[in-house]
Amino acid sequence: MRNRTILIVDDEPRSREGMKKMLASWAAGQCELLTADNGFAALRIAEGTAVDLMITDIRMPQINGLSLVAQLREKAAARQPAVILISGHAEFEYAQQAIQLSVVDYLLKPISREKLIAAVEKALKAGEERERILLMQKMADPELVAVAGGEASLSDPVRGAIQYVDAHMGEAVSLKEAADHVHLNGSYLSTLFKEQIGMTFSEYVARRKMQKAKELLVKTNLPIAAIAERVGYQTAKYFNKLFKEYESMSPGQYRTEMQQADAGI
């Protein structure tokens, strides 16, 4: 994971440089600290740099801190920095707008080193959790998400077949094995499965195996052949072929793309 980038926006040089100095000693080179003395400069930086956290004063000329955050939110970019607002005035209206803009924290000047660092650590942690969720969403198969969302309405045999697939991910699961497990004949389970899941049993198994493979590609450094084996395919060649059918790219290409996405968020 790359170093985090923190942007400090304040039109008062003493306040701006004071916060930078406090954070520099805390970060010990693990964060890039950028500064801007007005909202326009901050917007330019945010457009060209992946900013993880923005700390901005509210009262500034031309573009105040609240307008600055609102403009960043309006851009609706995939990447949105976490935000800490600072102010010399404890005004309810400011706090109210901060909540509406999903601001992580709202600090009053003068800011102590302890309070600033605690707020920054909280904001960066919140940002990392949001990034993790975004990455998981990018990996998720919409068809499987829909199945999981409607699992409560499934019949016991179909739910049991799904559980059987999950428990035997490293094997070549057959409809007959799943049917035997839920004490039905294969033909009847096949019909039930298609009616309730919206896809055939074999397609569900393939999608579930591809989902597990994607998780292993992103979260481990296992070779492709080892991942193929873990999801129940004896040959990497067939696994590669099937993966490409579902993801429109090879497992190796998928791993590279997701690693780049992870490094960029």
Domain residue spans of the chain: 4-136, 142-264
Q: What confidence score (pLDDT) does residue 262 get? A: 66
Q: 4-136: what CATH class?
A: alpha beta
pLDDT of residue 211: 95
Q: What is the pLDDT of residue 265?
A: 52
Check: pTM over 0.75? Answer yes or no: no
**Contact present, 9 and 39 (Cβ < 8 Å):** yes
Q: How far is CA 141 from CA 189, 212, 242, in A?
A: 23, 10, 15
Tell which residue, 125, 127, 116, has the closest CA to residue 25.
Answer: 116
Q: At what angle do helices 201-219 and 156-167 cross, to 10 degrees?
A: 40
Query: CATH fold of 142-264, please?
Result: Arc Repressor Mutant, subunit A (1.10.10)
The pair of structure tokens assigned to 217 is 């590609």
Cβ neighbour number for residue 84 with a 10 Å cutoff = 25
pLDDT for the residue 257: 87
Pair of tokens at residue 8: 């400090």
For residues 178 and 168, what is the distance between their CA atoms, to the nearest angstrom? 10
C-beta neighbour count of 9 within 10 angstroms: 28
Which residues share a beta bridge with 33? 6
Tens of each residue's pLDDT in the chain, 265 residues: 458 999 999 999 999 999 999 999 999 888 999 999 999 999 999 988 889 999 999 999 889 999 999 998 887 455 688 999 998 877 767 777 777 778 888 899 899 999 999 999 999 988 888 888 888 888 899 999 999 999 899 999 999 999 999 999 999 999 999 999 999 999 999 999 999 999 999 999 999 999 999 999 998 999 999 999 999 998 999 999 999 999 999 999 999 988 877 665 5
Residues in CB range of 243: below 8 A, 6 or more apart: 210, 213, 250, 251, 254
Burial class for 238, CB neighbours closer than 10 Å (0-12, 13-18, 19+): exposed
The pLDDT score that the predictor gives to residue 251 is: 95
